[in-house]
Amino acid sequence: MNTPEITWKSWLMVATLGFVWGGTFLVTEIALDGMTPFWLAAARIGFATLVMTAIWAARGFALFEAPPPGATKVSVVFIGAVSTAVPFCLLAWGQQYVTSGFAGVSMASVALMVLPLAHFFVPGERLTLRRVIGFCIGFVGVVILIGGQAFESTGTNLETAGRIACVAAAACYSVSSVVMRRLPPVDPIGLATVLLIIAAVMTLPLAFVMEGWPAMPSAKILLVLAFLGLIPTAAANLLRVLVVRSAGPVFMSLVNYQVPVWSVVLGALILSEPLPPSLIWAMGLILIGVALSQWGALMRLFRRAP
């Protein structure tokens, strides 16, 4: 396992992921008008699995460069479960009982969770004071952006359980990124596909158990599902694998600070939602936090620039 290498391609991929996942909330709201939460998660994962399997088949089903030991196979199954299937289901259930603001803060906490995990389990991902300060400043920026909804109560009986589910989903993303980084040399398309297959095998039966047989969605909802499966699930999952495998889980976690910003901005541009007065301050703090936490990577990037 090589030391994480952060290039301009890494920054471009992380920025793309932040934009795509930030816009996913708007599309998901449309899909939820015609589908239940667990079937929505299962359907987008299932569609993404079909697309990625076709691409993987065209490449000859390449995966590992050498036959992996049994422990590596177990790790892949574990990543497939905790990188997609488990957090998707936890969020689908938990967001019924918490505010959207709390769910957003939970996802932003991924970056803070990754820091100590990567320090102990990923070579080259040392936990430095500057990096900690940077990530904390970025987290404060996200909380300011979300505002009063960040920690206000819904008053429902299952709110505490819902909050635990959201935080557990964030922990799943953190752990899966670290374990993924520790895998031996692997084909990224093959890995992204296998992870989706594992997630599909888990989520489809769970959707049946939790919500029964789904009603046939309308043509509009089917198009929305196709988009969710193709862009924020299949394509984004591949980008996530590429970023974690090359630049490392700490760098990948920067996406979680971008998502709330894009969600707010796109909501204003597309749905004419009001922009919060705190947007500029929040964006400033997030950018300062990112710059501080990735100062070394930025300096190396600019030194290489012609």
Q: Is 75:182 a contact under the CB 8 Å cutoff?
A: yes
Residue range 223-246: mean pLDDT, rounded: 93
Can you say whether the dihedral through the CA atoms of 274, 280, 281, 283 is positive or negative?
positive
What is the 8-class DSSP label of residue 151?
T
Average pLDDT over residues 260-286: 83
From 77-91, 252-266, 267-281, the region with the lowest mean pLDDT: 267-281
> CB of 266 within 8 A of CB of 104?
no
By the 8 A CB rule, do 264 and 122 touch?
no
pLDDT at position 190 over 80: yes
pLDDT attached to residue 197:
95
Q: Count Cβ neighbours within 10 Å for each residue of 261-275 and write b for 16 or more, e otherwise.
A: bbbbbbbeeeeeeee
% of the chain with per-residue pLDDT over 70: 95
pLDDT tens figures, 195-209: 999 999 999 999 999
Report percent pLDDT > 90 for the chain. Answer: 42
In sequence order, which residues have a C-beta less than 8 Å from that of residue 40 and are 6 or more positions away? 28, 31, 32, 92, 225, 228
pTM of the predicted model as reported, rounded to 2 decimal places: 0.86
Q: What is the pLDDT of residues 132-178, one digit of tens each?
A: 999 999 999 898 888 777 777 878 888 899 899 999 999 999 999 99
pLDDT digits (tens, 9 = 90+) for 2-58: 667 888 899 999 999 999 988 887 888 788 888 888 898 899 999 999 999 999 999
Residue 123: per-residue pLDDT: 84
Distance of CA 52 to the CA centre of its chain: 18
Nearest Cα to Cα of residue 245 among 291, 159, 177: 177
Q: CA dihedral defined by 117, 120, 126, 130, rounded to 10 degrees?
A: 50
Cβ 199 vs Cβ 16: under 8 Å = no
Any residues with CB less than 8 A from the CB of 158 and at least 6 apart, and which? 96, 97
Each residue's pLDDT tens digit, 118-131: 999 988 888 889 98
Question: Quick one: pLDDT band at residue 304, thresholds 50, 70, 90?
Answer: low
Q: Are 250 and 125 in contact (CB under 8 A)?
A: yes
**Alpha helices, DSSP H, located in the chain:** 8-32, 37-58, 70-80, 86-94, 100-108, 110-121, 129-146, 159-181, 188-211, 219-228, 236-247, 249-252, 255-271, 279-293, 295-304
Residues whose CB falls within 8 Å of the CB of residue 88, separated by 6 or more in sequence, listed in order: 41, 45, 169, 199, 203
d(CA 162, CA 165): 5
In this predicted structure, what is the pLDDT of residue 68?
A: 75
- Tell me the per-residue pLDDT of 61-71, one tens digit each, with 9 for 90 and over: 888 866 777 77
C-alpha to C-alpha distance for 16 and 235, rounded to whole angstroms:
11
DSSP state, residue 148: G
Cα–Cα distance measured from residue 284 to residue 71, given in angstroms and rounded to the nearest whole number: 44
Average pLDDT in the chain: 87
CA distance 191 to 265: 33
**Which one, of 89, 76, 84, lies nearest residue 199 by Cα?**
84
The answer to whether 162 touches 95, Cβ cutoff 8 Å, is yes
